[in-house]
Amino acid sequence: MFLRSALSLWPLARNGTRSYSSTGVTKLVAVTVDDQTGIATVNLQRPPVNSLNLELLTELSSSLTDLEKNKSRGIILKSYSDAVFSAGIDILEMYKCEEERVTLFWSALQEVWIKLYGHFAPTVACINGHAPAGGCLLALSCEYRVMVKEKTIGLNETKLGIVAPQWFIASLVNIIGQRQSEVALTTGKMFTTEEALRIGLVDEMAENTEDAFSKSLEFFKKFKNISPFARAQTKAFIRESTIQALVKNREKDLKMFINEIRKENVQKGLGQYLESLKKRKVS
């Protein structure tokens, strides 16, 4: 009953789904809510590779706020593209960046992680494409990961000559444990879907996007007979210390980020990485 009245705030489309974006115009993040189940699909749609820039993160952040307010029953995070879930941070946000913009950018990334990691409803990453670095972080923030076969995922920051922040690391450690995380992070390892499944970095493997989406939907059925309050409060208790570690240190984390990426050797490395990306193609 409550869900229905909350959902009635969204316009109903003919096929029983409600679409909206926080700005009123669908841009980089499209949200569709199934009228029957109350499950929201949050589609990242920033071609070509869903790299995370300030605009995308700002939209994602307000979509998450709307979903929290409207008491969504669950979230499936996916990509518009069958090739790339998200290429992680848009390197242009870090390379030769202006202080004002980079401050807004990093604050928006912190905000998105805090909201997604701590979202009260169940969350699933439908990883229908490659998910390096920040793309992997988004997937790690969800409670369950379904990944299409023959893609790659991982926190590869060291390969770019940068250090993954503590909250990226904690997100990984909480899923695959300290030992596996240490090896993965220090080597900048990108796991294939098959490898990721073996170590528990993802929960299920899928044939294709459609299969991944239907497996994602299945996840929510686990909670059919569970009190939503008991579920949400348990999740909050489990995740609280990880979230608080960033919430209490946001300013320090921001300063460290700006300081780190401004280093001459880091800027040089990012420039070379950008160049190398332009020269190479991944199938």
Ligand X SMILES: CCCCCCCC/C=C/C=C/CC(=O)SCCNC(=O)CCNC(=O)[C@H](O)C(C)(C)COP(=O)(O)OP(=O)(O)OC[C@H]1O[C@@H](n2cnc3c(N)ncnc32)[C@H](O)[C@@H]1OP(=O)(O)O
Shorter beta-carbon distance to ligand X: residue 220 or 257: 257
The least distance separating ligand X from the CB of residue 68, rounded to whole angstroms, comes to: 25
Shorter beta-carbon distance to ligand X: residue 83 or 232: 83
Bridge partners, 131 (sequence order): 153
The least distance separating ligand X from the CB of residue 91, rounded to whole angstroms, comes to: 4
Could you identify the residue written with the tokens 């992997």?
A: 136
The least distance separating ligand X from the CB of residue 73, rounded to whole angstroms, comes to: 30
The least distance separating ligand X from the CB of residue 156, rounded to whole angstroms, comes to: 5
The least distance separating ligand X from the CB of residue 199, rounded to whole angstroms, comes to: 20
The least distance separating ligand X from the CB of residue 47, rounded to whole angstroms, comes to: 9
Q: Mapped to the 3 state alphabet, what secondary structure does the chain carry?
A: CHHHHHHCCCCECCCCEEEECCCCCCCCEEEEEECCCCEEEEEECCCCCCCECHHHHHHHHHHHHHHHHCCCCEEEEEECCCCECCCCECHHHCCCCCHHHHHHHHHHHHHHHHHHHCCCCCEEEEECCEEECHHHHHHHHCCEEEEECCCEEECCHHHHCCCCCHHHHHHHHHHHCHHHHHHHHHHCCCEEHHHHHHHCCCCEEECCHHHHHHHHHHHHHCCCCCCHHHHHHHHHHHHHHHHHHHHCCHHHHHHHHHHHHHCHHHHHHHHHHHHHHHHCCCC
- CA-based torsion, 95, 98, 99, 100: positive or negative: negative
Residues that bind ligand X (CB under 6 A): 48-49, 51, 83-84, 87-92, 130, 132-134, 156-157, 160, 162-163, 165, 256-257, 260-261, 277-278, 281-282
Shorter beta-carbon distance to ligand X: residue 39 or 196: 196
**Residue nearest to ligand X according to CB distances in the complex:** 88
Shorter beta-carbon distance to ligand X: residue 7 or 162: 162
Shorter beta-carbon distance to ligand X: residue 39 or 172: 172
Shorter beta-carbon distance to ligand X: residue 56 or 67: 56
Shorter beta-carbon distance to ligand X: residue 137 or 212: 137
The least distance separating ligand X from the CB of residue 24, rounded to whole angstroms, comes to: 28
Could you identify the residue written with the tokens 């879907």?
A: 193
